[in-house]
Amino acid sequence: MDRTFSVSRFLKFIFTPMGGVQMTVDRFFEQLAKTVAILGGIVLLGITVLTCTSIIGRSLIGVGLGPIKGDFELVEAGVGFAVCAFLPWCQVQRGHATVDLFTNILSARINRWINLIAETLMALAIFVMTWKLWDGMASKLRYGDTTFILEMPTWWPYAACFSAMVVACVVAIYLVIVRAVELLTGKTNTNLGSGAVH
């Protein structure tokens, strides 16, 4: 019996479904992504309410009401966070736009290679975005920048976005491992989202 160590054997051992271990790990990452997406949704809902209230107040200036002070600053910060918060869920659900016209005629193995390469490139893009958010946050913190109207420290929205992007990085790394295991085992992981229809 060959007992030599290999990365492919190790990954197969760790991620081969045994007693529901893989499903549990998959569910953990899916739940993590979903939780961050729900937070993003709550923020987006708050922004919607804030915007509607501000517009109604603006239209009723004649009766003593007015827009919410600094509404556009809050919207700008909230939308940035929401976009970052939805990214991990989009990754887990394979919700990014794909063009299947050409890949449908290719073999399952070649498609697994394409999936692994695409997942790896997406993970790299997420890492670069996270790194640049960190740089931006550090710069805003160092110079003590604030918004014009509310005088809110501008590093706060950067920190919120960075936190969501760290989750996106963790999810992206896991999904690269999942795609590598799919390639090595020849089996598609059905525990995670099956992907959006495009």
Confidence tier at 198 by pLDDT (50, 70, 90): very low
Q: Which residue has the higher pLDDT, 10 or 90?
A: 90
* Strand spans (E) along the chain: none
Mean pLDDT of 10-16: 56
Q: Across residues 17-24, what is the average pLDDT? A: 57
Could you read off the pLDDT of 112-147 as tens digits, one per residue?
Answer: 999 999 999 999 999 999 999 999 999 999 999 999
- Distance in angstroms (rounded) separating the CA atoms of residues 163 and 81: 9
The whole-number pLDDT of residue 102 equals 77
Between helices 155-185 and 108-143, what is the axis angle to 10°? 160
Q: Higher pLDDT residue, 118 or 193?
A: 118
Q: What is the DSSP secondary structure assignment for residue 106, as one 8-state letter? A: S
Asked if residue 178 lies in contact with residue 189, where contact means CB atoms within 8 angstroms, the answer is yes
- Residue 64 has what pLDDT? 83
For residue range 68-122, list pLDDT tens digits in order.
Answer: 999 999 999 999 999 999 999 999 998 877 777 777 788 888 989 999 999 999 9
Is the pLDDT at 17 greater than 60, yes or no?
A: no
The closest alpha carbon to 153, from 165, 161, 162, 144, belongs to 144
Rounded CA-CA distance 184/10 in Å is 11
Comparing CA positions, the residue from 86, 81, 46 lying closest to residue 159 is: 81
Structure tokens at 19: 């007693």
Residue 78 to residue 22: CA distance in whole angstroms: 35
DSSP states of 62-87:
GGT--PPTTHHHHHHHHHHHHHHHHH
Q: Which two tokens stand for residue 44?
A: 């987006």
- The whole-number pLDDT of residue 138 equals 96
pLDDT category at 189 given cuts 50, 70, 90 is confident
